[in-house]
Amino acid sequence: MRLTLRTQPATGGHPAEVIAGACLGSSGNLYSCAKTQTLRSESIADSSGFVVALPTTSKLVELLRMTKKSSKSTPAIVQEHPEDAPAGWEPVQRRLADSSGLSILLVDGRQPPALVVSANNSICHAFQSSPDHVSLCDPYCGEAHRRAMSSGGVVHYKCHAGLQCFTMRIQIARERNLAVIGGRAFVAGSDYRRLVERFRDGDLKKLLASNPLSNVIFSRPGKLDQLADRLHRAARQFKGQTSSLTATTEEPAPLESANAAAPEAPEVSKPLKSSSDLQSEIDQLRGELEYRSHFAESLRHFLDRISSTDPQNTYTAILINSKDLLLAERASLLVVDEKANELVLKAGVGLNAKISEVARIRLGEGIAGGVLETGRALVVENMEAAGIEPAPPERQYKTKSFISYPIRIGGRTIGVLNVTDKATGEKYNDVDLSLLEIIGPQVALALERAEWQERAKEFQLMSITDPLTGLLNRRYLQERMNEEVNRSKRYDYPMSFLMIDIDDFKSYNDLNGHQAGDQALQITAHCLKVALRSADVACRYGGEEFGILLPQTPLNEASAIAERMRQRVADTVYPHGKSQPLGGVTISIGVSTFYKQVDTPELIIAAADRALYDAKSKGKNRIESIQAS
């Protein structure tokens, strides 16, 4: 005999709602609902040890840190005690769970704990392991055994998390007081998206530390019915007896905690299947497994593929993977510029124009602008029938069907994904929209992370860039000089440095004003940049001085580059150049190079500075160098 004691808070609720959905997929995995498949998501781990099937964002990581300490203080609830299960049943149940892709629990009373748990949904494990959250499940899976014993048939219900489940009475060998809970799967992407929002910004933040999204299961209602039938047959074969099983579609509300005696199911015999029927079923199962294997291999790393440290790679990956999965020949991804309240094209496939040439789309403007304004997806099977003016013929669209889908996170729209021209020539419909609903939360989080990466890159660039000239600043030059000097020492590479000064710049500034002086600095910076190679580094050193780092460049090549710069500046017409003592704006350049006695950044810069002083003292508008003695 087993005694389980657990505090049961008073609970109540509304009847769970049955979802007659047809979408199918997994966290990061999706495919047509016409096929019967269920996949579990792959989990990924970040540096904090936070395992989750969604791209990690800074907000999620911060929430994890806040919850880790508190999660250690309260012991988790025991989930199963397989030693009390009928001998030999556990491997049978595990095989059924693995082949169906659904969760199965064998229970003999209130749950948790169960007798045996197979392929449990990580969301359910997180809820039912937490003393603070297990009560949310009590009116559903907690009452499943009593409902099954009262009904005698298959009872379907949807729990508070939006997971579709079933429970039914089962007899294994001589054990009659048993029931199974099966499914625990999302059958609609909208249910999954609502739950993700609760984990991210709602009442379930504290559960993030328990990895609730590491093994999320998606399916369709028909798969749950198939599993119920297979469980019944497996139990009948296990005990060597036959019995009937009736199926109901009762939608139970959370019930009072009372156990009612249930009548035993009458035993009847069923006709044996013919060999052709059995072969047909085997062929169907084989085809199903091959189909599942194909998509599992193709889509297993969906999350990995849409995540990148480079924002543009993320945009492209989101578009390409979404396009391929929806069989679209044309697609575009637009991201919201929140300051301007406009959509900006970030990636496109099959477009007739370059991304940089596509104009921004204002709120409410056109199809994508309308989706941005309403926050609702637009599925159009035929543009003309929907009263939408078709695109001009020169754009050469193959079909008149498309989907414009809002990418939303935390109640705000952050982008719009457009797909059109299905490769099969078919129309887009609600099934295709369901596929987008499945990947929507992952795409939104990846897009949000790319947005933050772009901002971080902008801030980083601002910290190393001179705002007036657009050249890199002295701080960046010092870091690069250290790198290049170390490389030259290690591999015996040559390296040179130019120190440049605008001749008589103080006179130019005093005569023409500071605005004219700033303009002269900008013109000079441009002259320097266009004379350089891609590997060279041009910096504003300070005031009217510029520094040029020339990696893997010997002194003679550095002198040639310096002459090109000097000549370009001398040939450039400045607004007030004629007022200069030399009749135009000119520069003087000092050249130094890396060698045995000059082998640190400080010594190299000092040598170039001495050479610049020599050039100034010898009449300006010239180049001088410091050579190895």
* pLDDT tens string 555-567: 999 999 999 999 9
pLDDT at 105: 96
- Does a structural domain hold residue 259? no
- Whether residue 122 is found in the same domain as residue 216: yes
- pLDDT greater at residue 266 or residue 562: 562
- What is the distance between the alpha carbons of residues 441 and 306, in angstroms, rounded to a whole number? 12
Claim to verify: residue 411 and residue 447 sit in the same structural domain: yes
Q: Would 260 be classed as within a structural domain?
A: no
Q: Apex CA 70: angle with CA 65 and CA 72, to 5°?
A: 100
pLDDT at 10: 34
Q: What is the pLDDT of residue 276?
A: 66
Residues 248 and 181 in one domain: yes
Lowest mean pLDDT among 279-293, 457-471, 604-618: 279-293
> Other C-beta atoms within 10 Å of 468: how many?
12
Task: Tell me which of 80, 544, 545, 602 is the catalytic residue.
Answer: 544
Joined tokens for residue 422: 């299905």
pTM for this structure?
A: 0.42
Q: b/e per residue, 76-89, with b = 16+ CB within 10 A? A: eeebbeeeebbeeb
How do residues 220-242 score in pLDDT, each as one tens digit? 878 898 999 999 889 888 864 43
523 shares its domain with 584: yes
Q: What is the mean pLDDT of the chain?
A: 78
CATH code for position 438: 3.30.450.40
pLDDT digits (tens, 9 = 90+) for 379-390: 999 988 888 888
For residue 70, is it within any domain?
Answer: yes
Same domain membership, residue 105 and residue 54: yes
Q: Which of the pair, 338 or 152, is modelled with greater confidence? A: 338
At 282, the pLDDT band (50, 70, 90 cuts) reads low
Q: Is 602 a catalytic residue?
A: no
Give the list of residues 6+ apart from residue 301 with CB closer than 8 angstroms, or none.
Answer: 28, 42
| Residue partners of 532: CB distance under 8 A and separation at least 6 | 538, 548, 561
Q: Residue 579 sits in which domain range?
A: 472-625
477 shares a domain with 384: no
Which two structure tokens, joined as six digits, stand for 103? 């969760």
**Is residue 6 one of the residues assigned to a domain?**
no
Assigned domain for 220 exists: yes
Considering the domain architecture, whether residues 432 and 319 belong to the same structural domain is answered as: yes
In tens, the pLDDT along 588-619 reads 999 999 998 899 999 999 999 999 999 999 99
pLDDT digits (tens, 9 = 90+) for 313-362: 888 888 888 888 888 999 999 999 988 889 999 999 888 778 777 889 99
Domain total of the chain: 3
Is a pLDDT exceeding 80 seen at residue 139?
yes
Exposure pattern of 576-612 as b/e (b: 16+ CB <10 Å)? ebebbeeebbbbbbbbbbbbeebeebeebbebbbebb
Model confidence at 27, pLDDT cuts 50, 70, 90, reads very low
In a domain, 136, yes or no: yes
Higher pLDDT, 41 or 321: 321
CATH classification at residue 531: 3.30.70.270
